[in-house]
């Protein structure tokens, strides 16, 4: 056998023996039952001369042969709290807020109702008070409640407003005892008795005059066509009178006739027809472009990209639908400060499609007064949601969730509106925030 192969086999045997010798001290600990290990160690220690019966505390404990699996802490169960808001059929804006605890344990909660800018509460049910959160320009009505198990608590407010014919929207939410984590939210729009909830907006001036403009264009076009037909009828008669026909008394000498020129229609016929066609083309193109822009959003700034779905604009508490989601902004407050501060938004999201939808925090924006915008602070949003990443998993088809979003803003500027989207090419919604 070559020397190199003998050396390899000898080295392999030595390594194998060293491995067996290393594993031998562990085998008794792994095979000996747990109840007999103290007795065996005590007997072994007692059998040695001068050995103590108790283990030396200065020596580290031997690691177990099999690692003990760690338990995953189960998440805290969310209380089954639901909120329903209904408007009252009264002369002034009034609301009934029903907070229902479906659980078997009492729950401490804070209920907040957002009031539109410029409105105040004239009547508040027992236990509520009107406050102004942070640096916000709006006020809210707050109740601190302890909901018994399997119970329903009804709250009520009445608002004062000068424009009694205008609809008033006031959302309400139930939060945890610290007032940060939302349980559920609801919204309602009060309408004056006998008034229409959604009044049609008055069309612009050129839209009101559009029928008259179209009628004028049609009239000019009809007159032009009539003039053209009259001219064509008169042309054969004039041509017949200008030629030599039979029955002439004195023959005329054969003289070369100049070539006949093709007669053109007069200017007074061509100009009205061309003007009518041009006006009709321009009007149709303007109307089509205006309809497309209005279908996206009449108040939004021009952006690039081909949007999917129809965009919408609204205010706090108004459900707004875009391509896949229905967004409802219930509340927004900003921390006071001059440097970096956080603005918390209580948002309701509903998946209206039949498929799971993925959405991203970078697509949710808060626009400032100076035109700049910031996206969602995903780390702060995760902390506000008890460590849960709300953008990590897609939303199930037909599901709804109420969650806080956090925007971090540098400086003293406050957001003027929110832009929320379900996808990159979604038309999105825009919500004006006071």
Residues with Cβ within 8 Å of 149's Cβ and at least 6 positions away in sequence, in order, are 101, 103, 104, 105, 106
**Within a domain: 196:** no
**Within a domain: 166:** yes
Residues with Cβ within 8 Å of 182's Cβ and at least 6 positions away in sequence, in order, are 173, 174, 175, 176, 330, 346, 402, 403, 404
Question: In terms of Cα–Cα distance, which of 158, 133, 161, 156 is closest to 143?
Answer: 156
144, 173, 190 - which closes a domain: 190
**Within a domain: 129:** yes
* CB 414, CB 371: distance < 8 Å: no
State the pLDDT at residue 287.
66
* CB 181, CB 167: distance < 8 Å: no
Return the SS3 of 287.
helix
Whole-number Å distance between alpha carbons of 160 and 118: 9
* CB 275, CB 220: distance < 8 Å: yes
**Within a domain: 204:** no
CATH of the domain at 105: 2.60.40.740
Whole-number Å distance between alpha carbons of 81 and 379: 26
190, 215, 237 - which closes a domain: 190
State the pLDDT at residue 87.
95
State the pLDDT at residue 340.
84
**Within a domain: 384:** yes
Mean pLDDT by 10 residues, the chain (434 residues): 57 62 48 42 41 44 43 55 94 94 94 91 92 77 94 94 80 91 94 62 52 69 71 58 50 59 65 74 69 48 57 93 94 84 94 93 93 94 93 92 94 90 91 90
| Number of domains making up the chain | 2
State the pLDDT at residue 29.
43
**Within a domain: 137:** yes
State the pLDDT at residue 160.
87
**Within a domain: 336:** yes
**Token pair for 170:** 């006031």
Domain that holds residue 132: 81-190
Report angle CA 384, 390, 394 to the nearest 5 degrees.
170
């Amino acid at each position: 056998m070559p020397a190199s192969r003998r050396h390899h086999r000898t080295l392999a045997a030595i390594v194998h023996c060293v491995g067996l010798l290393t594993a031998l001290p562990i085998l008794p600990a792994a095979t000996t039952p747990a109840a007999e290990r103290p007795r065996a160690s005590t007997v072994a220690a007692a059998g040695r001369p001068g050995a103590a019966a108790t283990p030396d505390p200065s020596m580290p404990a031997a690691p177990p042969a099999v690692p003990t699996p760690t338990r995953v802490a189960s998440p805290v169960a969310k209380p089954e709290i639901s909120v329903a808001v209904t408007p009252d059929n009264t002369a002034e804006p009034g609301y009934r807020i029903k907070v229902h605890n479906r659980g078997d344990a009492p729950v401490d909660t804070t209920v907040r109702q957002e009031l539109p800018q410029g409105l105040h509460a004239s009547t508040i049910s027992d236990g509520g008070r009107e406050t102004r959160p942070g640096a916000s320009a709006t006020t809210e009505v707050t109740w601190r409640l302890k909901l018994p198990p399997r119970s329903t608590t009804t709250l009520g407010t009445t608002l004062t407003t000068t424009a009694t014919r205008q609809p008033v929207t006031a959302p309400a939410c139930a939060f945890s005892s610290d007032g940060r984590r939302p349980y559920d939210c609801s919204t309602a729009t009060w309408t004056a008795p006998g008034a229409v909830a959604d009044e049609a907006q008055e069309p612009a001036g050129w839209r009101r005059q559009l029928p008259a403009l179209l009628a004028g264009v049609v009239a000019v076009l009809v007159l032009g066509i009539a003039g053209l037909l009259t001219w064509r009828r008169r042309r054969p008669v004039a041509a017949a009178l200008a030629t030599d026909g039979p029955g002439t008394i004195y023959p005329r000498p054969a003289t070369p006739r100049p070539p006949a020129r093709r007669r053109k229609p007069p200017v007074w016929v061509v100009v009205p027809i061309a003007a009518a066609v041009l006006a009709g083309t321009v009007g149709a193109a303007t109307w089509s472009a205006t309809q497309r822009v209005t279908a996206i959003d009449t108040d939004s700034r021009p952006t690039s990209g081909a949007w999917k779905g129809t965009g919408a604009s609204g205010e706090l508490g108004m459900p707004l639908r875009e391509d896949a989601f229905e967004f409802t902004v219930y509340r927004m407050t900003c921390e006071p400060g001059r440097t970096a501060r956080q603005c918390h938004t209580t948002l309701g999201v509903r998946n209206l499609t039949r498929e799971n939808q993925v959405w991203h925090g970078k697509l949710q924006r808060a626009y400032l007064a100076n035109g700049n915008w910031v996206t969602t602070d995903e780390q702060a949003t995760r902390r506000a949601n008890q460590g849960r990443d709300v953008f990590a998993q897609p939303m199930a088809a037909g599901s709804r969730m109420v969650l806080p979003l956090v925007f971090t803003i540098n400086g003293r500027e406050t957001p003027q509106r929110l832009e929320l989207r379900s996808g990159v090419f979604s038309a999105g919604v825009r919500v004006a925030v006071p």
